[in-house]
Structure 1
């Protein structure tokens, strides 16, 4: 976790690498088995028909998760860009805090002399404080933008994984008969879409890609 001592807070929490890892898991391909060679009869026909339906479900799931992966990739890029901006602001804030501390000492020393020296030292200190206030305001704006972007990603994933409905569906509703083939996704349909802005908790963190995404976003 970045140490923003100049700003005093983290304007862009998150772990872009963990988000990218979650995206990679969404792109993992799951293949269905083919009917055994030489199997014939009514049971074989029923099995083949069932596999055909599962393939349709699987293709739908792949498209959904592929779109989710693209959304996660975009968010990872946003996290990186916002963190670079936060680091720039933090460096500026540290520099200004150091300069302001020196200027404050100059004001104290100049107070013994009075006159123009004291006026100039005081003006310099006030200027530095205004600049620092501006940097802190920019960091707060960045934090607000970062959180707004996270909420938009959350809404996009919820809408995507719920098929556009208000309620987030269960795994069975989302993936139908192919749920067992997608167990490695760790309930992405119901959990990943619901935990985007939820703080990670060691005792109840969802597994797999969902857990990675919770960690990637940092505490909210």
Structure 2
């Protein structure tokens, strides 16, 4: 079992709940903090003391208060941690459900587990800890189901994502076609733009451009 665990969570009640779950697993050394900056300092200090943490459990969202901060989110903390302790095991514990963001944390930042906050969070967290300890990646059931249904994301290219961004800004199809023509992008005619939009509607099962934009935002594409 992990011996030295750091919890980064700004809500005190949740912090205590996670700590209680770790105690049930008989983890001997548990350190908690409510700030990402403090978490990074504790990780660096533990490395310097030659007793590094072997697991970080972190939320993604940290509310601002009176204190000035350098790191304002769990994602920023993860990036910083990876530069000083690349092999540290990391479990994200969050309510964030945008699958594009979650997929980025897994694919780009190589987090080891993603646990969704909710009714089963304690049992879910225990499963994640055991899985990560055995060298496996773990995601909560709902997150796992979403990840299995994001093949459509890989089917969008950079121009599709730009098109979605322009639609989100309220541009009409004719305006988007003009923009693509000005930038000399491929498939820049009005008919090509309409075909791209229709393709994206099919991929995301959207009936209108507004619904398409809403789905793209929810999935973290824009």
Q: Normalising by the residue count of structure 2, what TM-score does the alignment of the two structures yield?
A: 0.22
Instruction: Report which structure shows greater RCO (CA 8 Å, sep ≥6).
Output: 1
Q: Normalising by the residue count of structure 1, what TM-score does the alignment of the two structures yield?
A: 0.22
